Amino acid sequence: MALTTLALSGAANGQTKKEVRSIDDLPQFSYPIKGTVADVLSSPPASFEATVSQMRVDIDRVLNDYDIHDSATLRGLLQAKLGAQIASGKEDKAALATIEQLRSHQDKEEARLIAGLAPCEPFA
């Protein structure tokens, strides 16, 4: 079984960032996991720490290498990053910074007020 999420074929150093107008502009990749998704979600966080760590590296690379114009896509990536930060249990300051980024990319005032308050389902 594989956990699939957004992917990258990122821009190398010195290259112009690739423009992203929708989630369809990002390639996909998958992460191998053992067992079912339910097994992974009910297991201790340490058991999928390596996968979350790799996802975090990939998310950061996407955020750095792509010029994302679609707010929903950007918010989704930031939400996934926040989930990984929360799952690590060691990145409180970074998580707070990500919440601020999430809030700054909300279209509605109500969404800005609650961005980052709801737990990230896969990592809660």
| pTM listed for this prediction | 0.71
With a pLDDT cut of 90, the percent of the chain lying above it is 26
The torsion defined by the Cα of 83, 97, 78 and 48, in degrees rounded to 10, comes to -20
Predicted confidence (pLDDT) per residue in 25-84, tens digit: 887 878 888 888 888 778 887 777 888 888 999 999 999 999 999 988 999 999 999 998
Contact residues for 13 (Cβ-Cβ < 8 A; gap 6+):
none
Return the pLDDT at 7.
42
Return the pLDDT at 37.
81
Task: Evaluate whether 85 touches 91 at the Cβ level (below 8 Å).
Answer: yes
Contact residues for 90 (Cβ-Cβ < 8 A; gap 6+):
none
Tokens of 65: 């290498």
d(CA 91, CA 97): 10
